[in-house]
Amino acid sequence: MSFKNILENWSAFRKDAEAGGHHKYDHRWGMAINLDVCTGCNACSTACYAENNLPVVGKERFEKGQAMHWMRIERFWDDADKQYPERGASYLPMMCQQCGAATCEPVCPVAATYHTPDGLNAQVYNRCIGSRYCSNNCPFRVRYFNFYSYYETWAEPLNQQLNPDISVRDKGVMEKCTFCVQRIRTANDKAKMENRSIADGEVQTACAQACPTGAIVFGDTMDPNSAVSKLWAKHEVKRGDYLSKKPKQHPEKRGYRIFEELNVDPSVMYLERVREEI
Amino acid sequence: MFYKHVCKLVLPPVLMFVSMLLMSGAPARAELAAPPGVTPPVGTYAGADVAQPIEFPHDIHVNVNKINCMYCHTYARRSKVAGIPPTSKCMGCHKMIATDKPRIQKLTEYFEKRESPKWKKVHDVPDFVHFSHERHVKKFVFDADLPVENVEQVCGLCHGEIKAMTVAKKNKPLTMGFCQRCHEANGGPGDCWKCHK
């Protein structure tokens, strides 16, 4: 291996990363987000706050970069948008991409973040010591650090709506989108109690459930018959293999994964927004 | 003189040794048998007494009346928590049975006031631990074809010998090591995010 090769594709050293690396996967949860129908309404973000016990930090802390939103709507103005501002911005819901070869995992000094057998990038709060290496190594900037003990100052009636299926985090730990793991585990338990495997559509993340336009599709990308797998296949997006990727030929095939060139193998596919050229 | 010394110095250690031998040979109480094919989790814990509003006698209900654990803790096979029975379930029997006993009279008082006794939780794991009773009951009882009347063996893996107690006391550590060693021995999941999330 030449040094050039290492620089170009250091991730090739990972053990069969495309096939799952050290993991034998039961499921690989994934998402498809259709940006064409996303209106940027923030319902997904709000649902995430309600589902995952996220604190509302307020304007001052937000400006300091201490926001705790696991899911944020990013706004973009490309050149055409600037020319025709009445068309509005482009929106992109951004959450943890649950990378197959996550950059946050190898840098954790205490292995508080690791890969689960169902393809999720887990964060174990009790093991986390708050070194924040993971956040600094995340190319998507989707890891959020608890700078304060929000559970102590949770506004009075709202503490009654905390979700008991997920921990309320204390200060000093990192947290991020979990693909609503509590829902996945509940569905998994239910399926196992009935001696079957999880059916497609049985698990819905809070954001997918709340999206008024149905832009977010969640499911198992290992199951070829799931809605999300069909979307991935339709738009010719597949895991790994980024070097042999050809430029998109067909305008109908709008699928892409963010920072695919970093070869972190994200589990979220975005469908490009279609805009008429004026 | 010599006899006195023997009594003072030699006899007590000898007696202690003999009694230790006897005790190790025949323990005071036979341990609850583990269900067949299950490696029981290792560890004991000396839990403090928990003051309950009514001293519910588990020993009488299990040993004398032979009531199954899941008759009262009916949610164990259906949900994450085993559940405390509603007072109406107690009254289903105790309208007629043992109505002269002070504990039952206290219970009847609660029932007539339409209040439930404020039972204190004995086996409590922290909020960041998600333990599911139904999955464990299914694995060790229904999938293992264990006769349901022997379910106390499965409950006893984590709760100890409740039938030897009046008010339940915590006598297993219920720590992560305790859980994890049992998971390793019996093929449970080893994924952090199964229990912590």
Q: Residue A225 and residue A231: Cα distance in Å, rounded?
A: 10
Cβ proximity of A207 and A93 under 8 Å: yes
pLDDT band, residue A88 (cuts 50/70/90): confident
> Does residue A115 have a pLDDT over 90?
no
Question: Residues A236-258: pLDDT tens digits?
Answer: 888 876 655 666 777 788 888 99
Residue with structure tokens 């090739």?
Answer: A12
Q: What residue ranges in chain A does DSSP mark as E strands? A: 29-34, 72-76, 90-94, 113-115, 121-123, 144-145, 174-175, 216-220, 255-256, 268-271
Mean pLDDT on B66-73: 93
pLDDT band, residue A156 (cuts 50/70/90): confident
What is the crossing angle of helices B87-94 and B102-112, to 10°? 130
Interchain proximity B193–A185, CB inside 8 Å? yes
Q: Which domains does chain A have, with CATH numbers?
A: 3-271 (3.30.70.20)
Element (H, E) at B71: helix B69-72
Q: Which residues pair with A145 in a beta bridge?
A: A174
pLDDT band, residue B185 (cuts 50/70/90): very high
So what's the pLDDT on residue A278? 56
Residue B132 corresponds to which amino acid? S
- Rg of chain B taking only CA atoms, in angstroms: 21
Using DSSP's 3-state secondary structure scheme, residue B155 falls into helix
Chain A CB contacts of B138 under 8 Å are 192-193
- Is B153 part of a structural domain of the chain? yes
- Is B159 part of a structural domain of the chain? yes
So what's the pLDDT on residue A237? 87
Give the pair of three-digit tokens for residue B174.
């219920």
Q: CB A97: neighbour CB atoms within 10 A? A: 25
So what's the pLDDT on residue A16? 58
Cβ–Cβ contact A114 with B under 8 A: yes
Q: Domain span at residue B171?
A: 44-84+119-195
Chain B CB contacts of A125 under 8 Å are 128, 196
Mean pLDDT on A105-125: 89
Of A18 and B55, the one with more pLDDT:
B55
So what's the pLDDT on residue A147? 94
Closest-CA residue of chain A to B136: A193
Count how many pairs of residues, chain A against chain B, have C-beta atoms within 8 Å: 42
Question: Residues B122-167: pLDDT tens digits?
Answer: 999 998 999 999 999 999 999 999 999 899 999 999 999 998 888 9
Cβ–Cβ contact B132 with A under 8 A: yes
pLDDT band, residue A59 (cuts 50/70/90): very high
Q: Residue B178 and residue A191: Cα distance in Å, rounded?
A: 27
Question: Residues A124-149: pLDDT tens digits?
Answer: 999 999 999 999 999 999 999 999 99
- Is B18 part of a structural domain of the chain? no
How many structural domains is chain B composed of?
1
Chain A CB contacts of B190 under 8 Å are none
- Is B125 part of a structural domain of the chain? yes
Summary mean pLDDT of chain B = 84
Interchain proximity A192–B138, CB inside 8 Å? yes
Q: Residue B177 and residue A69: Cα distance in Å, rounded?
A: 34
So what's the pLDDT on residue A274? 84
What percent of chain A has a predicted confidence (pLDDT) above 70? Answer: 88
Give A107: exposed, middle or buried? Use CB within 10 Å, 0-12, 13-18, 19+: middle
Pick from A5-19, A42-56, A125-139, A202-216: least confident: A5-19
Measured between CA atoms, how close is A210 to chain B, in angstroms? 22
> Does residue B56 have a pLDDT over 60?
yes
- What are the φ/ψ torsions at residue A121 (nearest 5 degrees)? -95, 100
Interchain proximity A116–B196, CB inside 8 Å? no
Cβ–Cβ contact A182 with B under 8 A: yes
pLDDT band, residue A71 (cuts 50/70/90): very high
pLDDT band, residue A48 (cuts 50/70/90): very high
Question: Residues B84-132: pLDDT tens digits?
Answer: 999 999 999 999 999 999 999 999 999 999 999 999 999 999 989 999 9
Taking the alpha carbons at both ends of chain B, their separation in whole angstroms is: 72
Closest-CA residue of chain A to B131: A165
Who among B128, B130, B135 is closest to A125 (CB)?
Answer: B128
Kindly compute the dihedral angle of the four CA atoms of residues A95, A140, A142, A171, in this order, to the nearest 10 degrees.
Answer: 170
> Does residue B30 have a pLDDT over 70?
no
Pick from A249-258, B37-46, B56-65: least confident: A249-258
Strands A268-271 and A144-145: unpaired
Strands A268-271 and A29-34: parallel
Of A166 and A7, the one with more pLDDT:
A166
Cβ–Cβ contact B145 with A under 8 A: no
Closest-CA residue of chain B to A170: B128
So what's the pLDDT on residue B21? 44
Please report the sign of the dihedral spanned by the C-alpha atoms of residue A131, residue A136, residue A138, residue A144: positive
Q: CB A58: neighbour CB atoms within 10 A? A: 10
- Is B110 part of a structural domain of the chain? no
pLDDT band, residue A102 (cuts 50/70/90): confident
Q: Residue A133 and residue B64: Cα distance in Å, rounded?
A: 60
- What are the φ/ψ torsions at residue A268 (nearest 5 degrees)? -115, 125
Interchain proximity B197–A189, CB inside 8 Å? no
Mean pLDDT on A7-25: 57
> Which residues, including other chains, have CB under 8 Å from residue A231's CB and lie 6 or more apart?
A32, A217, A255, A269, A271
Task: Report the length, in residues, of chain A.
Answer: 278
- Is B162 part of a structural domain of the chain? yes
CB < 8 Å from B in window 121-150 of A? 122, 124-127
Cβ–Cβ contact A22 with B under 8 A: no
Measured between CA atoms, how close is B76 to chain A, in angstroms? 13
- Is B135 part of a structural domain of the chain? yes
- Is B23 part of a structural domain of the chain? no
Cβ–Cβ contact A168 with B under 8 A: yes
